[in-house]
Structure 1
Amino acid sequence: MLLSFSIFAFVFLRNANAENNFYPRYHLAPEHGWMNDPNGFCIFNNEYHLFYQYNPNSSYVPGIAHWGHAVSKDLFHWKHLPIAMYPDQWYDEGGVFSGSALVDNSTMYLYYTGNVNHPNETPNHNQYQAMAMSTDGINVVKYDNNPIINGTQLQPDLRDPKVWKHGDKYYMVLGNSFNDGKLGRALLYTSPDKINWEKASVLAESDGFLGYMFECPDFFEIDGYFVLLFSPQGIKPRGDKYRNLYQTGYLIGTFDYETNNFTVLSKFQEFDHGHDLYATQSEVDENGNRIVIAWFDMWDQNYPENAQGFTGQMTIPRVISVTNDLRLKQTPVQSISLARGRNTYSGRTKGGAVVVLEDNVGEVVVKAPRYRDFALFIESDSGSVKLSYDFKKGRVTLDRGGNDGVRRTSWRPQGKLVWKIYIDSSSIELFCGEGEVTFSSRFFPTGSVRVRLAPHSDAEEMIVNGMKRTVDITSANETTG
């Protein structure tokens, strides 16, 4: 009864003042409580399933992690399902931590890390790898003989399994901290049967520069290369790089399934250049596209959305590809067209022009000359976010103001300057050019949101489209009552 009342109050508060509502319209967010890492991203029975780290009891702290669960036909119209896994076994009583899904023989296998806390001891936790199964995509049963990997010699930080099948063998990549917690690495395991696993190799490890822990590793083949996509903790800032508390980035190279050796051909690159992207998950769609989704937030930020009954959301799902210079390019999935609303503005636009967004959301596309500086503001009564391009220096900047507000990286348009900007109540995603550079940052406006071109920043074309609500909090809560 108390839960039902709190959900009603949350919905009423949100609807009572739409202009100050931080809950997204077309990004997946928790119905209430705390969301962080995406988990178990997969296609099962012709639906996308996305699990996530979830605290149903508070929007202020991550708490003891459960696995939340949502499904979608198109990656935008999401339906929340009941909690998939609770921390109810001896090996996961401190949290059902992050993991992945493998669909094999009409069964969904969920691999995750069970966390066990040991207060006032050293180390103060242990982590075990566990497996669960579902034959209907809703009801999940944990394997009777868990844990499947104890990792006795690799404790205490061994987590976030990503599992896939190649040929007649199964593979798992795990994040690990070694050398007394000073260095991070990604470990590769193999199995003949999905249950019995042996350590096969070290895919990559830190020499100090890449920090002390590799979280949420993912390893996959794309465009003739292999990509290790992961979230290293402990990288120190270097100028405009690595400014967030923790990073998400990648190494690109080649991999030999006979020797299990990963040969790195590129330096570490940041996946996104904004303030708020972490813990990526990927899946291959029915057309063979590699789709990546991430937690659209960052640790230790304490954003004001928590006072509205929720914390965290997911990014727009993105199709990735490898460029000739061994970088990842990102574009929104094509099904974003299903979330697109009516066109509200289109045409050549002079600097200083202002367009008000309906419901504080929108898709904004601008095209401008490549040989000039360009800037626009996403404004509200409480401040603004400035997006700017410096032609002489060849760099893009997102400045949301306040402490540590600036994020910046190098980029030059190949043709005209083209930006696609997605604004959703309390978030901004900027795609530059064909997705060579992206910025993902949260912002928390008061009153209506407007887009204003800076003086002398003329756009050869500016298009503004509304965006539909694709995740309805009211109907979502009908599944959890």
Structure 2
Amino acid sequence: MAGSHHVGSESSLASPSDQPHRTAFHFQPPKNWMNDPNGPMYYNGVYHFFYQHNPFGPLFNPQMYWAHSVSRDLINWTPLNHAFAPTQPFDINGCWSGSATILPGNKPVILYTGLDSEHHQVQNLAVPKDLSDPYLQEWVGYTGNPVINLPDGIQHDDFRDPTTAWLANDGKWRVIIGSQKDKKGIAFLYRSEDFVNWSMHESPLYEVAGTGIWECPDFFPVCVDSNNGVDTSVMNSRVKHVLKVGLYDYTRDYYLIGSYTPEKESFVPQNELTLDALRYDYGKYYASKSFFDPVKNRRILMGWVNESDSETDCIAKGWSGLQSFPRSIWLDQNQKQLVQWPIEEIKMLHENEVSIQNMNLEGGSIHEIVGITASQADVKISFKLTNLEKAEELDMSGIDPQVFCSEMDASKKGKFGPFGLLALASHDLFEQTAIFFRVFQNNGRYTVLMCSDQSRSSTRNGLDKTTYGAFVDIDPQQDEISLRTLIDHSIVESFGGGGKTCITARVYPTLAIGDDARLFAFNYGTESVLISELSAWSVKKARINIEETIGCT
């Protein structure tokens, strides 16, 4: 099953000046197409990351391969040969997404979707060829593949992406697989005692009419009283469960928090799945996958961040697709939503710290943040607001925050807001990506809106410059309004309210590139705001998918 193709070397690309939108610390292959993250895991001192890869070009092709990179720190990644190639009858038309599970005895296995010789989506099992190889470079398919066939009554292309499996007290493994029937999204549940012979449970784990196909599902426990992550098989009174599904029709990842009872195979969420339900990220972010990291007792999340330029642009660049910077993910103290935050290892790449405390930002003013590389940066800023009784009166119930952010872009003056950051800005602000907040009141309650405005992000036409928006569940009377933004040439990842609301955007500046990019704090509202604290760093370039000699230590 190990492929003969290599992901290649970054040296095969044009010089950085010819590739101003390649990133420095976000995972991407040296060239060609990448989409879903697959099978992330930690095993014997090494982090493994697999991903959907077209080794033959920068556009999607259903005949996917699993590319494979390894790391000891989740920052620097070494490329290996492809783990899976579409060569067998059970995956000849594509090796699609799947997940890793560590079996008792410390044995890693992978379940993945194959497009078989009849173009049916079936589920296959693979194991490492040599467990003594520290990098698990070769994988072999089970001789009896597929281990799970297409269910009766399901369309041939509507059954995919098995999750990491979990083990209940009855000694049976469980896994869910995304599907649909008549536009009803379905998480089919399968059980097995030996990880080879699987049987479908009589009812799905969960299903919702009218949501279309669910893909890249994820199902995992989160602690109710700790930021720590737990293994996928943990089930007790101290955890709730998260069901995440990718809605293909909308390319969005939604999640539900609820209670799981394995004896009844019952998942009861706190809220319904609608298009207004909670999302991991309210920008460009999809097909995410999480895994438990036993080294630091945390759950780590990665997601695919697609391009916002054209296929013609991708062909010219020779590549397409990024992964988000790895995020720690946990249950908020209020138990109503998840919180995400860049993993702490990013500190390895920090340099040239600049900081500001207690600086008043008058209405209509900007302040340039100098001393860092603005095209490759990590910035944290907290705003303190006083005189909140002056906030604009507006009933935000029933308002679509993305539409509102689009109509009330960064140039539209309010009272409290817009205030935030101008990232990847040119010196004259002709180009800018604005990440900002607005605060409104209604009947004595305050609403915080977070926007990421890409409308002026590039002088180029033919780009998707969609503006994104979402609410942040904080009370500005009690809490400062904080923003953390990772800036990396063509990706802007923003975390509002300490990671309660995340928005990722792709941008393609023509002026604000390299050393010509600037970073500003701004306040275009009429009321002043206080920057209580600002810290910003240049972020050094990570070693990502640069070929190295793989040793045996």
Q: TM-score range by the shorter chain?
A: 0.7 to 0.9
Would you say 1:400 and 2:461 are equivalent positions?
no
104-113 or 46-55: which moved more? 104-113
Distance 2:346 2:536 in 1: 15
What is the identity, as a one-letter code, of the residue corresponding to 2:206? A
- Offset, 1:338: 1.7
Distance 1:70 1:140 in 2: 14
417-426 or 303-312: which moved more? 303-312
Structure 1 length normalisation: TM-score? 0.87
- Residue 534 of structure 2, aligned match among 455, 462, 465: 462
The residue correspondences of 1:132-143 to structure 2 (distance < 5 A) are 132-134=126-128, 135=131, 136=133, 137-143=136-142
Residues 196-216 of structure 1, C-alpha deviations (whole Å, 9 max, x = no match): 0011231111221xx210000
Task: Give the structure 2 partner of residue 178 of structure 1.
Answer: 181
Task: Give the structure 2 partner of residue 199 of structure 1.
Answer: 200
Structure 2 length normalisation: TM-score? 0.76
Question: Residue 42 of structure 1 contacts residue 49 of structure 1 at CA under 8 Å; is this kept in 2?
Answer: yes
The residue correspondences of 1:371-450 to structure 2 (distance < 5 A) are 371=388, 372-373=416-417, 374-381=419-426, 383-392=431-440, 393-401=447-455, 405-411=466-472, 412=474, 413=476, 414-446=478-510, 447=513, 448-450=516-518
- Residue 329 of structure 2, aligned match among 310, 313, 320: 320
- Offset, 1:15: 2.7
Question: Residue 273 of structure 1 contacts residue 408 of structure 1 at CA under 8 Å; is this kept in 2?
Answer: no
Distance 1:294 1:306 in 2: 23
What is the identity, as a one-letter code, of the residue corresponding to 2:519? V
Residues 241-293 of structure 1, C-alpha deviations (whole Å, 9 max, x = no match): xxxx4110111111111121111222333323443100111111123322111
Residues 53-95 of structure 1, C-alpha deviations (whole Å, 9 max, x = no match): 0011101334520001111112111111111110001121111
The residue correspondences of 1:110-259 to structure 2 (distance < 5 A) are 110-116=110-116, 125-134=119-128, 135=131, 136=133, 137-153=136-152, 154-156=154-156, 157-166=158-167, 167=169, 168-179=171-182, 182-200=183-201, 201-208=203-210, 211-223=211-223, 224-234=239-249, 245-259=250-264
Tell me how many residue pairs correspond in the alignment.
452
Task: Give the structure 1 partner of residue 519 of structure 2.
Answer: 451
Question: Residue 329 of structure 1 contacts residue 436 of structure 1 at CA under 8 Å; is this kept in 2?
Answer: yes
- Offset, 1:308: 2.1
SS of the aligned residue for 1:91 comes to coil
Q: Once superposed, what is the RMSD of the aligned Cα atoms?
A: 2.5
- Residue 285 of structure 2, aligned match among 261, 277, 287: 277
Question: Residue 308 of structure 2 contacts residue 507 of structure 2 at CA under 8 Å; is this kept in 1?
Answer: no
Residues 172-226 of structure 1, C-alpha deviations (whole Å, 9 max, x = no match): 11001113xx221111111000000011231111221xx2100001111112211
- Offset, 1:430: 0.7
Question: Residue 374 of structure 2 contacts residue 423 of structure 2 at CA under 8 Å; is this kept in 1?
Answer: no
- Offset, 1:395: 0.7
SS of the aligned residue for 2:324 comes to coil
75-84 or 453-462: which moved more? 453-462
Distance 2:197 2:112 in 1: 15
Structure with the higher fraction of residues in strand conformation: 1
Would you say 1:33 and 2:94 are equivalent positions?
no
Distance 1:259 1:52 in 2: 34
Would you say 1:364 and 2:379 are equivalent positions?
yes
- Offset, 1:415: 1.2
- Residues 365 and 304 of structure 1: is their aligned pair in 2 closer, same or farther, counting only changes over 3 Å? farther
Task: Give the structure 2 partner of residue 336 of structure 1.
Answer: 346
- Residues 291 and 303 of structure 1: is their aligned pair in 2 closer, same or farther, counting only changes over 3 Å? farther
Runs of 4 or more, structure 1, over 6 Å off, are: 298-301
Aligned-residue sequence identity (percent) comes to: 27
28-37 or 387-396: which moved more? 387-396
**Unpaired runs of 5+ in structure 2?**
224-238, 389-415, 441-446, 456-462
Question: Residue 273 of structure 1 contacts residue 407 of structure 1 at CA under 8 Å; is this kept in 2?
Answer: no
What is the identity, as a one-letter code, of the residue corresponding to 2:179? N
Distance 1:218 1:301 in 2: 30
Question: Residue 99 of structure 2 contacts residue 164 of structure 2 at CA under 8 Å; is this kept in 1?
Answer: yes
SS of the aligned residue for 1:336 comes to helix
- Residues 36 and 319 of structure 1: is their aligned pair in 2 closer, same or farther, counting only changes over 3 Å? same
What is the identity, as a one-letter code, of the residue corresponding to 2:538? G
- Offset, 1:38: 0.4
**Unpaired runs of 5+ in structure 1?**
119-124, 235-244
Instruction: Please tell me whether Structure 1 or Structure 2 has the larger radius of gyration of its CA atoms.
Output: 2
